[in-house]
Structure 1
Amino acid sequence: MPATPAVPATRAVPATPAVSATPAVSATPAVSADDAEILARTADAVRDAASALRERFGDVVRHETREELMRALAVNDDLALGILRPRLSQLRPNARWVEEELEGGALPPGEWWVVDPAEGNVNHLHALPEWAVTATLVRDNLPVLTAVHLPSTGETYTALAGAGARVDGRPLRVSPTADLGLSIVATSQARPDEPEEVVRRIGASITAMLLDALVVRTAVPATLHLLHVAAGRIDAFWQFAGARADLLPGALLVTEAGGRISDVEGRPWTPQSESFLAAAPAMHTAAVATLGR
């Protein structure tokens, strides 16, 4: 993720003031008694938005220019947002809204909805099944709850801070694997048109993992890899840079499933970090060592 190139500024995002000392995602935010109900209704909203997008899914949407691609991406985004925005705003009327899913960095204090209306949007346009709809409530820069729906499987992944991660109500748990040489690991392109130094860093990290891991998967979007980490199907995921919308849902799911989140050097991860690593706990040290080569 993100799989989608930046859509031209049809929905401007307010300027984000600098925030210092951003807490790590693994810290425990204040969760209210109503948050479980909010999560259930958020899950309903993402399912309904995904259902609307599924009606448009099937044939490859052809485009000959970047402008045509952007317009097609925006149609999907606007369709899903037309369902999500009123529903989520009703749930938390005072929560502000992050308009651009490719934005990164810390948020001002308070509650924010961080939503990707079509995570893996470019896959959707190419008739590939790897796409989803996500919504995450962030409170003082900590994800409180998240819901992710995968139309290709019909699954809904949810997590509530301090209360675990689930898929369709079943608990999720990360892999117990401790040997990197027996592991499936994954990475993703954070956004199109990466700076050359980031592209080269991605390439070097893939090479390092190809030498040390059993299998290396490379695809977009990031959220789908992170769902697999939370479910114990993949042992580690890493990415350089990245946006809030493609990392926060998976970060909360992995954390609540017992995984470990950091940057690729093993330091606590925040939305301001320049890299991201999610791994099964027994795998984390080896992954850091490999990515640090």
Structure 2
Amino acid sequence: MTGYADDLALAHRLADAADAISTARFRALDLRVESKPDLTPVSDADTAVEREIRALLTQQRPDDGLLGEEYGATPAAGTRQWVVDPIDGTKNFVRGVPIWATLIALLQDGRPVVGVVSAPALGRRWWAAQGGGAYAGPAPDRGEAIRVSGVRQLSDASLCYSSLSGWEENGRLEPVLQLMRDTWRSRAYGDFYGYMLLAEGALDIMIEPELSLWDVAALVPIVTEAGGTVTDLDGRPAPAGAETSAVASNAMLHSDILDRLGRPAAR
């Protein structure tokens, strides 16, 4: 057991509560969907899940801070902060695609130390706490340890990426296309799912040009405890800020990927 065992157990309880709400609203005929100021969708399930998690954390961890995608930040009395994405993959959720999940993370001094990713429509959950390994399964009591792959050559690697439009906007589309040409296989599973497949060893690289803290915080402990590496495009440990990028790999391929995507020259 790690020093965060109680926090991990709480994160599972939060995920259970979230799953009960989101599953009931998935493919509901009366699902309400609105557009946020940035024109991304938000459903009544997103807001209901976050409200429930906030209520439970207020009861169980009243001194901890909380950052959620839908309702912003609640300050902390100390150095601990929970970070929640109530439904990662809302566009999938509202279209009836089952690849979506609730992401729950605990940060200590700004670093993710606990992560739970719960995807009830897939019947799958992933979790990790610092120093305790990474696990996946249909439920916390039926989990198995997971590990990244041992692939050492890009020509043998399976690459996952987010939409190409984002890479075009940040000026790295051509390096990404070349990376796709140089790897064995490339697919765009998107959102949390590519990172979890990486942690399980089913693929070897996941890259994303732009994401928020709540998109990545829960993923980092799972990937790293499974033996992988997660940095931003500049090679800094992820998450590197409230708005960041992500390059995740099985660690052995990481330096090569950063070089190909345009890591700045060392000063």
Match of 1:288 in 2: 258
Contact 2:2 2:131 in 1 (8 A): no
Write 1 or 2 for the structure with the bigger share of strand. Answer: 2
Match of 1:172 in 2: 146
Match of 1:206 in 2: 176
Aligned-partner Cα distance in 2 for 1:62–1:147: 25
**Structure 1: which 5+ runs fail to align?**
1-30
- The one-letter code sitting in structure 2 at the alignment partner of 1:135 is I
Q: Any idea what SS the aligned residue of 2:230 has?
A: strand
The Cα shift of 1:165 comes to 0.9
Q: State the superposition RMSD in angstroms.
A: 3.4
**Structure 2: which 5+ runs fail to align?**
138-142
Q: 1:280 to 1:61 in 2, by over 3 A?
A: farther
Is 2:154 the counterpart of 1:185?
Answer: no
Is 2:230 the counterpart of 1:256?
Answer: no
> Does 1 or 2 have the higher relative contact order (CA < 8 Å, sep 6+)?
1
Identity percentage of aligned residues: 25
Contact 2:69 2:86 in 1 (8 A): no
Q: 1:170 to 1:100 in 2, by over 3 A?
A: same
TM-score in terms of structure 1 length: 0.75
Is 2:62 the counterpart of 1:93?
Answer: yes
Contact 1:118 1:133 in 2 (8 A): yes
Mapping of 1:1-293 within 5 angstroms? 33=3, 35-58=4-27, 66=35, 73-100=42-69, 110-168=79-137, 169-189=143-163, 199-221=169-191, 223-272=192-241, 274-292=244-262
Aligned-partner Cα distance in 1 for 2:41–2:246: 30
Aligned-partner Cα distance in 1 for 2:179–2:78: 37
Q: 1:117 to 1:60 in 2, by over 3 A?
A: same
The Cα shift of 1:79 comes to 1.3
The Cα shift of 1:187 comes to 1.6
TM-score in terms of structure 2 length: 0.82
Q: Any idea what SS the aligned residue of 2:131 has?
A: coil
The Cα shift of 1:262 comes to 2.2
CA offsets, 1:256-286, max 9 Å, x none? Answer: 1111222334344442285321111222233
Aligned-partner Cα distance in 2 for 1:239–1:113: 23
Aligned-partner Cα distance in 2 for 1:236–1:40: 29
Contact 1:53 1:76 in 2 (8 A): yes
- The one-letter code sitting in structure 1 at the alignment partner of 2:146 is L
Contact 1:108 1:140 in 2 (8 A): no
Q: 1:82 to 1:100 in 2, by over 3 A?
A: closer
The Cα shift of 1:288 comes to 2.1
Contact 1:115 1:245 in 2 (8 A): yes
- The one-letter code sitting in structure 1 at the alignment partner of 2:260 is T
Aligned-partner Cα distance in 2 for 1:51–1:178: 41
Contact 1:116 1:246 in 2 (8 A): yes
The Cα shift of 1:66 comes to 4.5
- The one-letter code sitting in structure 1 at the alignment partner of 2:262 is G
